[in-house]
Amino acid sequence: MSSSTADPQATPPGGKPKPWEALRYRDYRVHWLATFCYVVGFWLRFLTLSQWLFDTTGSAAQLGLIGLVQLFVQIPALLWGGTVADHFDRKRVLFIVNMITMSVILACGILAAGDLLRTWHVYIAVAITAATHTMAQPARGAMTAVVVPARHIMLAVTTDRATQNVAMIFAPLLFAGVAEAFGLTTSFFIAAAVILPAALLPMAIHARGRAENASEGSTLERVIEGFRFVRRHPILPGLFLLDSGITVVSFYREIMPVLARGLFRGGAGAVGVLSAANSAGAVFGSFAAIAFAGYRAKGMLVLYASLAYAMVLFGFGSVPNLALGALMIALLGGTDAVTVAVRETTVQLTTPDHMRGRAYSFMILTAQTANNIGTIWVGFWSASIGAPSTMQMGAGIAIVATLIIWRVWRPIREYRYP
């Protein structure tokens, strides 16, 4: 049994949980700190590798190949990662994959210090660290349900999300300061140093790492078993379809420069403002989701948040200036954070421990696929009919998709917890 469930400071059963409740559990605090260190280190790794590649080659095309390399390795790594998380000790999985990530980044730093780092080294580093990052996600997500009691999972999930968004704001600032003051070589070493505690801390968690009734059989058999579980689940397919239907017609993060220019005639400065506003909105949205932890109709909550997202999306495509655009995109980040928190919480609560890694991996796979298709969709239509019309059209489709799921997927409407 997890030591966290015996915390004497925890809210007694039936009591109203506080927003910071999850952090009262010792194992969750360790898990939380490891997650924060990892997200900071991961973004330092991404920014440092990207900047080195662009500075060295001067080629936007070669920089763009990073996306292709990551896409090539992420899907198999994600499916494999889900089966690994359900078969092996998740704490050891996190230790191993994070140590590999740290070692690769450290090697890049050593090569850069000796002026030996080459372009092909960077692509190999991107491939390996993208695979380890993707493999770690199911194990990290599945551990959340082990280190806090079930009734506090949504608090833990929303705290995780808020922390990750804060880390995504902090990491670029740290990268800018280190790279400008000391150079990219130092940035490699800092990234490796930050990822090291992310590898070591999971081993300090007292709760069990291996799932009860861990799945056996070959990797392919376990992947198929996970797919069948998700397909037959009364709620998850509807939630995944809802997320996909909205994301495909509205995904904006990867092509922010297109929207900044098309909506507000802005350049890099506008991109920075919109990106920062979106991340800040996601942080506040994560904390707002904590306020809904006691709201029982979790299925209706995700439907309400999805409708709010769609209406704000229409506003984002209609406002006349950058200031209002920043407000709208902050609200988009906030409403999206609520839907993500509820969706992830539902996966955690309605999936048995021995299936949780695979269910989590299919949730991520659905989201990443929708993100990639959404980038293509928004880019194509922005070039064809303009960014404002693309956002407004996406809002209309998102509203229709939400109402269809609302009407057709009865288990989502009726889902209650606690």
DSSP string, 78-128: HHHHHHHHHHS-HHHHHHHHHHHHHHHHHHHHHHHHTT---HHHHHHHHHH
Cα(49)–Cα(390) distance, integer angstroms: 33
User: Domain tally for the chain?
Assistant: 2
Positive or negative: CA dihedral 114, 119, 122, 127: negative
* 188 shares its domain with 308: no
Residue 184 token pair: 């990219």
pLDDT at 6 over 60: no
Of 213, 231, 255, which residue is a domain's last? 213
If asked whether residues 248 and 148 sit together in one domain, one would say: no
In a shared domain, residues 120 and 241? no
Q: Are 252 and 274 in contact (CB under 8 A)?
A: no
Identify the helix (H) or strand (E) that includes residue 297.
none
| Residue 4, domain member (yes or no) | no
How far apart (Å, rounded) are the C-alpha atoms in residues 83 and 309?
Answer: 33
Of 213, 235, 253, the residue at which a domain comes to its end is: 213
Are residues 204 and 231 both part of a single domain?
no
Give the domain range for residue 409: 221-414
Domain containing residue 204: CATH number: 1.20.1250.20
Confidence (pLDDT) at 19:
59
| pTM for the structure as a whole | 0.80
DSSP 253: G
295: left (phi over 0), alpha (psi -120 to 50) or beta: beta
Q: Is residue 16 part of a domain?
A: no
Q: Classify residue 265 as left (phi > 0), alpha (psi -120 to 50) or beta.
A: left
Cβ proximity of 365 and 79 under 8 Å? yes
- Across 61-65, 216-220, 280-284, 312-316, least confident range: 61-65
One domain for residues 356 and 254: yes
> Does 10 reside within a domain?
no
Residue range 368-407, pLDDT digits in tens: 788 878 878 888 888 889 889 999 999 999 999 999 999 9
42 domain residue, yes or no: yes
| Res 9: pLDDT | 46
**In 265-297, which residue ranges form alpha helices assigned H by DSSP?**
268-291
Task: Indicate whether 149 belongs to any domain.
Answer: yes
> Over the stretch 134-185, which tens digit does the pLDDT of each residue have?
889 899 989 988 898 887 888 888 888 888 878 877 888 888 888 888 988 9
Q: Is residue 77 domain-resident? A: yes
63 lies in some domain: yes
pLDDT at 411: 93
Q: Is 356 exposed, middle or buried (0-12, 13-18, 19+ CB in 10 A)?
A: buried
**Domain membership flag for residue 160:** yes
H helix runs in 217-255, sequence order: 219-232, 236-248
- Token pair belonging to 117: 């780092």
Which of 165, 194, 213 delimits the end of a domain? Answer: 213
Both 147 and 51 in a single domain? yes
Instruction: Write the single-letter amino acid at 278.
Output: N
Could you tell me the two tokens for 69? 């390399």
pLDDT digits 0-9 by tens, 46-93: 888 888 888 888 776 777 677 778 778 888 888 888 898 898 899 999
